Structure 1
Amino acid sequence: MATYIIKMPDIGEGIAQVELVAWHVKPGDTVTEDQVLADVMTDKATVEIPSPVAGKVTSLGGEVGQQIPVGAELIRLEVEGAGNVKGDAPVTPHAAQQAATKAAAQPQPSAAQPAPAAERRQEEPVALAREAAPPRRAPEPTRAPGDKPIASPAVRRRAWELGIELQYVHGSGPAGRIRQEDLDVYLASRGQVAPTRASAAYAQRDEEEAIPVIGLRRKIAQKMQESKRRIPHFTYVEECDVTELEALRVKLNERHAGQRAKLTLLPFIARAIVLAVRDFPQMNARYDDEGGVVTRSGAVHLGIATQTEPGLMVPVLQHAETHDLWSCATEITRLADAARSGKASREQLGGSTITITSLGPLGGIVTTPVINHPEVAIVGINRIVERPVIRQGAVVARQMMNLSCSFDHRVVDGLHAAQFVQAIRALLETPALLFVEP
């Protein structure tokens, strides 16, 4: 046997080191060629590191949360044939035969020889369990050879801890993505139950759990801390009547059902921002506070705050000013899917000039969103609620929604912030204006 060392590859764009966020193997595991060994992160992009060879894991080159320099040892394998460590020699047939002969010469316990009492006591429960367990058929792969299972790092880690090979798990998510519940279904089909911790409703609980802040959570923490430390935030809230907008959205979806992308509220908000920043260019900008320079952008590179399983990510809709409602909806869906699957590229996660954030139906009444540094403004969308409103002396039911927008007070004055939000409000309350060029 020989040693094969896999080093941290150069994943481009001048990256000198990455953070190790997950191991999918452990010492003693046998791996195949192209099997994913680990997940690493740079900025907000998670990258899977596959094995270029088949072999047996002998050691890992770091712990989860550790920074791994490019070129450093990531993992060490024991392989057949020639390794890549100087001094290692391939195993010859003669050497292999000698090893097999030596192993065969070792004394083996006789089947008729009784085991010691202590060993019998340990083996009896195992033997009973094996007798009681029904015979199992070998699992069959649920996907074609060469198709890699799609799963988040959290699902991969849980599968690894449970000893499940994802190749045999059916994925119920989009594009066959494997979810946590798919692991439960697989275990149930094998006559197993995922370990749970039973507790009484009123039992005293004293356990604690230390959770390392690593990977995306560390990036988010650093980003939010940097934003709040550097930027003096202020938030402006305004209510908006979106009754007509919602009626238009529903009609457009009914008219183009199955032919065009389904419209959510986001494409309308995006278009309103594109039009509003033409009159308020100071909102579509990035502030270099160290250099003391504000760069206003003609292009609207719209950040779309997206909740993913590991944490918040902000993929960017490049040149939002060039998109109509349907292409905007298609692109937002594509970017959100890429972020949630961990496949978003560095280009898709950088360069935004202004950001939208929304929690959809959970959006609350008012929020105070944190600006995506080094931007100077963020538009927050709260949930739509039917409320009584007085119109021409009569109380009528209207679809109302609040806009909660935060601004960098070093760059944006309160008056201009209010005017900017009012401009967005006017466009949303009279949606025909979204399609009228000045």
Structure 2
Amino acid sequence: GVRGGGIAPTAAGSAPISGAPRAEGEKPLASPAVRLRAKEAGIDLRQVPGSGPAGRIGHEDIEAFLARGPQLAHATGLARKDGVEDIKIVGLRRKIAEKMALAKSRIPHITYVEEIDVTALEELRATLNKEKRPAKGAERPKLTLLPFLMRAMVKAIADQPNLNAVFDDEAGIIHQHEGIHIGIAAQTPNGLVVPVVKHAEARDLWDCAAEVNRLADAAKSGTASREELSGSTITITSLGAMGGVATTPVINYPEVAIVGVNKMMVRPVWDGTQFVPRKMMNLSSSFDHRVIDGWDAAVFVQRIKALLETPALIFVD
């Protein structure tokens, strides 16, 4: 019972055992000042053995618990961890770090984000994937969105060849290439690599798809050659379903442009009379603002948008 404002001692056997955490749901006994001290220290009072009557926790118990460290906190799975692992950046990871540092320190990026209605493109892609190639021909690879984007980029670059270039900023020379060599940024078990589809301008949809598949397999297995991982003039980066709504892709130095593919989502779109479900996807593209003006960047992305939204145009020479 309660006497004189104090708490009557419980039976001898009912007090918490010194050094043992309380059972789940058991409220620890402590003054407001002690509770505040525990809160400031990030301590769960249920894990602190009390040395006072009926297991009451005092300031000295808090200090003793802190001095002992996290060994008692394992009962709730919330133990403190103080270890530090030193990981030396070597090999591919070091090359990635160096290239990213170069890109961000030397290239003033401008990023342009535009949404694309890919409903018609997805319908066309599904139709083409259902078609059977004549028996005498090799089996066609399944088409993803990437080959369509690659062909759209090829057509857009025909009007804006300055996007298909690398910039030697030390010499002050822009090397504008006739051949379009599209890097496909790919995540592998060993880190980020960029296998290159050479001469995309000379490949049709299925050739682009087959080469992307071949290079992706080589990159993931670690068998891609140095030649297959170099020589790109413009890059695509895509994380598929993990692509997010918008990104700010880092240019593959010393190129001047990179096209980022974000995830596709079904969204309600107003068609003038009602909202209709459409498959929408954003492109987040970055450009080297030293050599590519914002207007040129916008024209390039808008041209790609027009081609992807009316995919029949991709097949028109």
Distance 1:319 1:344 in 2: 18
Write out aligned runs for 1:307-346 (5 A): 307-346=187-226
Q: How much does 1:204 deviate?
A: 2.5
Which residue does 2:260 correspond to in 1? 380
Query: Is 1:287 the equivalent of 2:163?
Result: no
Q: How much does 1:346 deviate?
A: 1.1
User: Which moves more between the two structures, 203-212 or 285-294?
Assistant: 203-212
Query: Is 1:205 the equivalent of 2:81?
Result: yes
Query: Is 1:350 the equivalent of 2:226?
Result: no
Distance 1:199 1:421 in 2: 56
Distance 1:201 1:433 in 2: 59
Give SS of 1:263's match: coil
Query: Is 1:401 the equivalent of 2:281?
Result: yes
Q: How much does 1:327 deviate?
A: 1.0
Which amino acid counterpart does residue 198 of structure 2 have in structure 1? Q
Pick closer, same or farther for the CA change 1:252–1:201 going to 2, 3 Å. farther
Distance 2:81 2:103 in 1: 37
Write out aligned runs for 1:196-345 (5 A): 201-256=77-132, 259-345=139-225
Deviations 1:358-412 (A, max 9, x none): 0000000000000011100000000000000001221000000000000000000
Give SS of 2:263's match: strand
Write out aligned runs for 1:55-74 (5 A): none
Deviations 1:90-143 (A, max 9, x none): xxxxxxxxxxxxxxxxxxxxxxxxxxxxxxxxxxxxxxxxxxxxxxxxxxxxxx
Pick closer, same or farther for the CA change 1:396–1:209 going to 2, 3 Å. same
Pick closer, same or farther for the CA change 1:203–1:375 going to 2, 3 Å. same
The normalised TM-score by structure 1 is 0.53
Which residue does 1:52 correspond to in 2? none
Q: How much does 1:298 deviate?
A: 1.1
Give SS of 1:269's match: helix
Which amino acid counterpart does residue 262 of structure 1 have in structure 2? K
Distance 1:380 1:256 in 2: 31
Give SS of 2:121's match: helix
Which residue does 2:271 correspond to in 1? 391
Deviations 1:21-46 (A, max 9, x none): xxxxxxxxxxxxxxxxxxxxxxxxxx
Q: How much does 1:201 deviate?
A: 3.5
Relative to its length, the structure with more helix (as a share) is 2
Where does the alignment leave 5 or more consecutive residues of structure 1 unmatched?
1-197
Which residue of the other structure, out of 212, 228, 242, is the alignment partner of 1:362? Answer: 242
Distance 2:107 2:165 in 1: 14
Give SS of 1:379's match: strand
Distance 2:75 2:106 in 1: 45
Distance 1:273 1:285 in 2: 13
Distance 2:178 2:185 in 1: 21
Percent identity, aligned pairs only, is 60
Give SS of 1:305's match: strand
Distance 1:354 1:381 in 2: 14
Which residue does 2:309 correspond to in 1? 429
Deviations 1:233-275 (A, max 9, x none): 1100000000000111111112238931011110000000000
Q: How much does 1:426 deviate?
A: 0.2
- Aligned residue-pair number: 240
Runs of 4+ in 1 over 2 A off after TM superposition: 198-208, 256-259
Give SS of 1:290's match: coil
Distance 1:385 1:328 in 2: 25
Give SS of 2:258's match: strand
Q: How much does 1:200 deviate?
A: 6.1
Q: How much does 1:199 deviate?
A: 9.5
Which residue does 1:179 correspond to in 2? none
